[in-house]
Structure 1
Amino acid sequence: MRGAGWTVHGDGRSPLPGAVVRPDERLSWGRTVGLGVVHAVLPPAVTGAVVLLIGFNLAPVAAGTYWPQDQWTALLTLLFTGFALVALRGFWGRVAIFLGLLFGYGVSWLFDRVFGRIGVKHTPAGHTGGHWRLDLHRVGDAPWFGWPSTHAPAFDGSAVLVALPVVIVLIAENVGHVKAVGEMTGDRLDSVLGTAIAADGGTTVLATALGGPATTTYAENIGVMAATRICSAAAYWAAAGFAILFGLCPKFGAVIAAVPGGITVILYGMIGLLGARIWVDNRVDLGNPLNLVPIAGGVVAGIGNVTLRITDTFSLSGIALGTILVLAGYHALRLAAPAHLREREAPGGG
């Protein structure tokens, strides 16, 4: 299968070293210099930590939003999805995540019929409260087509200055995502780092010019790639097109809002472990305090959603704060570290 400069051999299932072949890896002088800067600023110790904290930062979402809908439905969905990802082959293996969703819907529907609503409180006056595991009442009320509202952007100098440092976080996040995909496909993908960052910046400019939010690459999609092992660029072009079409359909959004929990536990964990794989593949020495200290502080701050209040109206928390602690801490400690610690850093820092 071909798409966007990628050739995926066989059935398109990765990761297999050599499964993804980039036809032209020759880089211009400008790209070579740019990649040198990126690798110097974002070495594997930093990018691995960023990917790891992105994945594990989502753990509270799985635990606090999806799992409580019904813990037994979530557990059964998790177990079935894990079985499908490991045991199924061919077409069914590629759609294992989708099968997990269908399984979750089916179990939720069955439990509603057998056990009734969940969370019902028994009072002297009767039964009150509770909710259905599979609540589709909003689907019928939602329209088939909805156009997003747009408005002209407003500029505030102080807000711009406050937000600019966050751009560094987004660049680090993008680089971490590209590195994570590279680990899955067996291709370093260095030649497209600049393209990915520029595309993210360009789409952010376009979205905010119409009054929308800033854009970014989504770790959830990388989790799906890791789970299904489908890394075909053509498949994701098609997925992007369908996402745009379905984004204009509020009824589809209502269906997605009723998705049962369980699958997210696997997907978010896979994202975090891709960060650890970056450390392993690049032989990052976690016994070296130069790596260990900033990673330890940044990862805990990112996963724990620690908040740093800078002013009454601006604060840093979660992924943003964790990334800054890892990035700034690593380079600050490197300046102060003795030579023998700097020499212990991982070789081949790609």
Structure 2
Amino acid sequence: MSRLGTAWTVHGDGKNVLPGQFVAPDERLSWPRTIGIGAQHVVAMFGATFLVPLITGFPPATTLLFSGIGTILFLIITAGKVPSYLGSSFAFIAPIAAAQSQHGPAGALGGIIMAGAVLAIIGAIVHRAGSRWIQVVMPPIVTGAIVALIGLNLAPTAKASFEQAPLTALITVVVILLVTVLFKGILGRLSILVGVLAGYVVAMLRGEVDFTAIGDAAWIGLPPFQTPEFHLSVVGLFIPVVLVLVAENIGHVKSVAAMTGRDLDPVTGRALMADGLATMLAGSGGGSGTTTYAENIGVMAASRVYSTAAYWVAGIVAILLSLFPKFGALIATVPAGVIGGAGVVLYGMIGILGVRIWVQNQVNFSNPINLSTAGVALVVGIANFTWTIGELTFEGIALGTAATLAIYHVMNGLARWRGSEHLTGPNDVDASDKGSRPSKLG
């Protein structure tokens, strides 16, 4: 059982967490309290995890099933050392939409599997060679630019959904913003979920919700599954997402390590492999790609309970919920106006999270190399430049990511060759010593 990370010891009296103490990953409180905290994790991940399938048209219950299975798989592979919930990754929204327009849902699922496979391979390399090389290849200026362009590339999608029901969408946006500023604790962190619920009520009152599918759905049963198809043309859409997933997972491991005072670097590779395998598993059956969730870090920080037992509970609860088709059908009734309102806030937040990476790591934009790297990448991503070579199609996210990596490293190489390294500063060339602190897209 210890190899699975399930040999938990009871913390203290199993009831209280004294000031200055916390429940470690290999500890737990009493089972009733552990189940309660696990339920909090389900609520914390719920809004964001369901929003991805609602936006992309994937079955919400299927995504929830693979989210729960992926979480348990992650806990097993990391031997219970890294508490985390694997929810739907927003980084997949744009490539899924683009792939669906070319090859339908099956083609998008094939792309998700490809991305998961590459992430798992990177995890295996990190497990053997360490993660320093990733920090050298992807310093904060690069990571921030990629995260920002992924969010801002989705702006037209948010606009299209918003315009289908402007009033409902506007109310959704307003509620999200008000909940964010008016409430503290877990309710404030669930602003998107609360906003979606408020928008849903408004949509019902305005007759924008169709409940037909709920009546047709069974009470108990498996969610719908979809067989993937593999097309070479979607490779350029999904591979850039891997870079974001790598940054997210490393950031999650470092955050948990900082909060628990434990050295988790040896399991970073395992975390990447686990997320890669969970993403492949999700893509094989019709679910969205996964990532570690920042929302659940907030629950841990608030409760001071880092027990992986609570995440086992969350994973099991997610699986059980996915086996109620009426529940999945209810989620699928969320109308376009609500999704558009949530998307306006969400996609903008993703874009600004990239900027936050720059701010947190003190990226120097008086350096023309950094300025060029970010500027070109954002224009390519936001304008959604497209380049087709035979069967391969590279759109804004892929081209923007490639531009970010190429411009940064080529310009720095040329600066060294020409002896003009005075252009750079301590935060401009190699952030490997300092370490990038990527924000989450989950």
* TM-score of the two chains, using structure 1 as the length reference: 0.69
Other-structure match for 2:17: none
Other-structure match for 1:217: 291
Pair 1:95–1:212, CA change in 2 (3 A): closer
Pair 1:31–1:305, CA change in 2 (3 A): same
Q: Distance in 2 between matches of 1:195 and 1:266?
A: 33
Unpaired segments of 5 or more residues in structure 1?
Answer: 14-22, 25-29, 113-131
* Contact residue 361 and residue 427 of structure 2 kept, 8 A: no
Once the two structures are TM-superposed, the CA of residue 331 in structure 1 deviates from its matched residue by: 1.4
Once the two structures are TM-superposed, the CA of residue 310 in structure 1 deviates from its matched residue by: 1.8
Other-structure match for 1:135: 210
Other-structure match for 2:166: 71
Other-structure match for 2:246: 175
Other-structure match for 2:194: 99
Equivalent of 2:222, from 134, 146, 150?
A: 146
Alignment of 1:295-310 (within 5 A): 295-310=374-389
1:251 and 2:326 matched: yes
* Contact residue 171 and residue 197 of structure 1 kept, 8 A: no
Q: Deviations over 1:173-229 (max 9, x none)?
A: 113324665898894998354233212332345456x565783428xx55x569xx4
Pair 1:340–1:95, CA change in 2 (3 A): closer
* Contact residue 234 and residue 392 of structure 2 kept, 8 A: no
Equivalent of 1:263, from 342, 352, 374?
A: 342
* Contact residue 138 and residue 254 of structure 1 kept, 8 A: yes
Q: Distance in 1 between matches of 2:153 and 2:421?
A: 34
What is the one-letter code of the residue matched to 1:263? A
* Contact residue 148 and residue 352 of structure 2 kept, 8 A: yes
1:279 and 2:358 matched: yes
CA RMSD of aligned residues (A): 4.0
Which region of structure 1 is more displaced relative to structure 2, 324-333 or 246-255? 246-255
Pair 1:167–1:83, CA change in 2 (3 A): closer
Alignment of 1:17-96 (within 5 A): 34-65=130-161, 67-90=162-185, 92-96=187-191
Bigger CA radius of gyration: 1
1:201 and 2:272 matched: no
Once the two structures are TM-superposed, the CA of residue 85 in structure 1 deviates from its matched residue by: 1.7
* Contact residue 186 and residue 299 of structure 2 kept, 8 A: no
Once the two structures are TM-superposed, the CA of residue 279 in structure 1 deviates from its matched residue by: 0.5
Percentage of identical aligned residues: 37
Once the two structures are TM-superposed, the CA of residue 319 in structure 1 deviates from its matched residue by: 2.4
Once the two structures are TM-superposed, the CA of residue 284 in structure 1 deviates from its matched residue by: 0.7
Pair 1:83–1:199, CA change in 2 (3 A): same
1:340 and 2:422 matched: yes
Other-structure match for 2:7: none
* TM-score of the two chains, using structure 2 as the length reference: 0.56
Residue aligned with 1:133, SS: coil
Which region of structure 1 is more displaced relative to structure 2, 292-301 or 171-180? 171-180
Unpaired segments of 5 or more residues in structure 2?
Answer: 1-21, 29-36, 42-80, 83-125, 437-442
Corresponding pairs, count: 300
* Contact residue 51 and residue 272 of structure 1 kept, 8 A: yes
Other-structure match for 1:17: none
Residue aligned with 2:163, SS: helix
Q: Distance in 2 between matches of 1:155 and 1:74?
A: 36
* Contact residue 180 and residue 275 of structure 1 kept, 8 A: no
* Contact residue 50 and residue 176 of structure 1 kept, 8 A: no
Q: Deviations over 1:272-307 (max 9, x none)?
A: 222111111111112222222222222222233322
Pair 1:181–1:290, CA change in 2 (3 A): same
Pair 1:69–1:178, CA change in 2 (3 A): same
* Contact residue 127 and residue 268 of structure 2 kept, 8 A: no
1:324 and 2:402 matched: yes
What is the one-letter code of the residue matched to 1:322? G
